[in-house]
Amino acid sequence: MTIHDPLDMHQYRIERLPKREKGPIEKWLALSGPFLALAAFVLFAFVIKLPFLQSIGSSDVVTSTAKEVFQKVGAEKFIRNNEYMLAIFVASIILWMTQAIPNYLTSLMVIITLVLTGVLSEKTAYAQLGHPVMWLNIMSFVLASMLVATGLAKRFALWLILRFGKSASSIFISFIVINLILSAFISATTAKAAILLPIFMVIAAIYGAQGGKDRNNFGRSIVVQNLFNINIGAAGFMTGSGANLLGAALIGGALSQSVFFADWMMAMLPVVTCLMLIGYLVAMKIFFPLSPAERLPQIEGGMDRLREEYAKLGRLSRKEIKSALIFVTILGFWATDSLHGISPTAVAFVGAIVALLPRYGIVQWNEVDVPWHLMLFSAGAYTLGAGLDATDLASISVNAFFDRIGIGNSTHFWVLYLMLTGVMVFSALLFQSKTMRAMIFIPIAIGVANRFGFPVISLALPVAFMIEHVYVLPFNSKPAALLYETDQYSLADAFKFGMTMMVIGWVLNIVAGETWFRYLGITPNGVFGLF
């Protein structure tokens, strides 16, 4: 990456970063993906007859929706729908993982295939684009665009760095605070990366990190830590990402009650804060310790450039003040949703309408950056989830699996807890999409909880809390792919730090399950009883 002025913040805009070339394995997967997906669909839909699907009886159908379908269409049609559902599910996973075609195109194919095979009616399949979570995503992008368009997010980040970033260590702590606060307001990790990347890249340049052959531990640490914090910060809030919202929606559907923003935040914000601080210590003390020279600015007057950038923003404008008031109000309603019962979607709707009002609003529609390709991808994922719910495939498969391996209903809760959370967190090494992981593993956790007689919340919510561990490999998430292009760290740097933090995150989730989550009532026999 050629940068003429290392302190010019505009050089680090995401659209100016070079596109990473695919490696040989990635190219092979992309080429073979369509053929593998087609073969999988044909095999599971027409050739392979799985015994546990052929022996489905009414007693095997767990969800009320699936029972209604079973009674309405009969055993033969119900079995056929499950075969089609499995075939579509496996084929879509292959296409999403191999990136053979754009994710949104795969989603469109999923939607129409579910309709043409008769698994879902057109009304049900097409309605997923109008899912409440979809609307919350759209309204959140409106509000995030308001922060970006007014410059309030950039102003806040620069102010915090200039005010408290007096040393190398305090700069890293400042970015932890920045990521936590932005995560409460911005439900897109890519948007957070876009806001923060130019700022921490300029700071990396100030401390002598130029990337490539001129990498140093300051540059490695500030980029890798921000990658970690951008993703993990989102885990502290239900609205931190679309995958969190999907997970909450799936669990709420199984419970027939809402998972509240306030409850999620109370459970995870302390854990997330602790994990970020541990990540700081692991990076600074173990993997990327700073030499005395790396703790000192290498470019004279470097911080003055940040002050100049901050000065260009001028005085706090009326629009920025209005943006701050809107967001604080929204966060207040989100944090107290268990008291007033107004959904996060409804609150975001009102906030976005106020922000878009002519003359009195803050941002115009053509300034709003809604990534519609991600919206279409999410709609396909939700439609696939609706198909899983209608056919009850997840619960049927879970029952068949445990029957096959001979695990009885007396299995200890912690065996299931360790297994489900472990599979969820380490599956991030293979999957590109958080939404897909949520859609696959949360229904499985719900099915396991139902089979063994444990509260759904006790297993499904800790699994949902592990969604955001997507920072080890470049293809694990959009921020991971973007920040890898900075060339400030190697694949080995990201892997050794990321794998360590992934294991620590899993262990911390286990410890919280026996302590904090038990106190809140997530783990059975809790004291406080939020859930």
Q: What value does the mean pLDDT take over residues 143-160?
A: 82
pTM, two decimals, is: 0.80
On the question of pLDDT at 242 being above 50, the answer is yes
Looking at residue 527, what is its pLDDT?
Answer: 47
Kindly tell me if the per-residue pLDDT of 118 is higher than 70: yes
What is the per-residue pLDDT for 166? 80
For 188, other C-beta atoms within 10 Å of its C-beta total: 21
**pLDDT band at residue 21 under the 50/70/90 scheme:** low
Q: Average pLDDT in the 440-456 region?
A: 89
With 90 as the cut, is the pLDDT of residue 469 above it? yes
pLDDT for residue 1 is more than 50: no
pLDDT digits 0-9 by tens, 353-363: 998 988 788 88
Quickly list DSSP for 504-520.
HHHHHHHHHHHTHHHHH
Contact 168, 121 (CB under 8 A): no
Average pLDDT value for the chain:
84
Share of the chain above pLDDT 70, in %: 91
pLDDT value of position 13: 62
Return the amino acid letter for 124.
T
Look at residue 382 in the predicted model and tell me its pLDDT. Answer: 79
**Residue 86 has which token pair?**
């499995």
Residues 177-190, mean pLDDT to the nearest whole number: 85
Position 61 scores a pLDDT of: 64
Per-residue model confidence as pLDDT tens digits over 286-307: 999 998 888 887 776 677 777 8
pLDDT digits (tens, 9 = 90+) for 72-87: 888 888 889 999 999 9
Spatial CB neighbours of 208, under 8 Å, sequence gap ≥ 6: 214, 216, 218, 219, 293, 294, 298, 299
Query: Is residue 287 helix, strand or coil?
Result: helix
Q: Select the more confidently predicted residue: 264 or 8.
A: 264
Model pLDDT for residues 435-445, shown as the tens digit of each residue: 878 888 898 99
Q: What is the DSSP letter of 427?
A: G
Residue recorded with tokens 């053979």: 100
Q: DSSP string covering 375-421, please?
A: HHHHHHHHHHHHHHHHHTHHHHHHHHHHHHHT--TT--HHHHHHHHH
Q: What is the mean pLDDT of residues 126-151?
A: 81
Highest mean pLDDT among 8-12, 119-123, 299-303, 473-477: 119-123
Radius of gyration from C-alpha coordinates of the chain: 24
Percent of the chain with pLDDT over 90: 31
Q: Are 84 and 48 in contact (CB under 8 A)?
A: no
Confirm if 196 and 311 have CB atoms less than 8 A apart.
Answer: no
Please give the average per-residue pLDDT across 503-524, as a whole number. Answer: 94
Report the alpha-carbon angle 21-23-29, nearest 5.
115
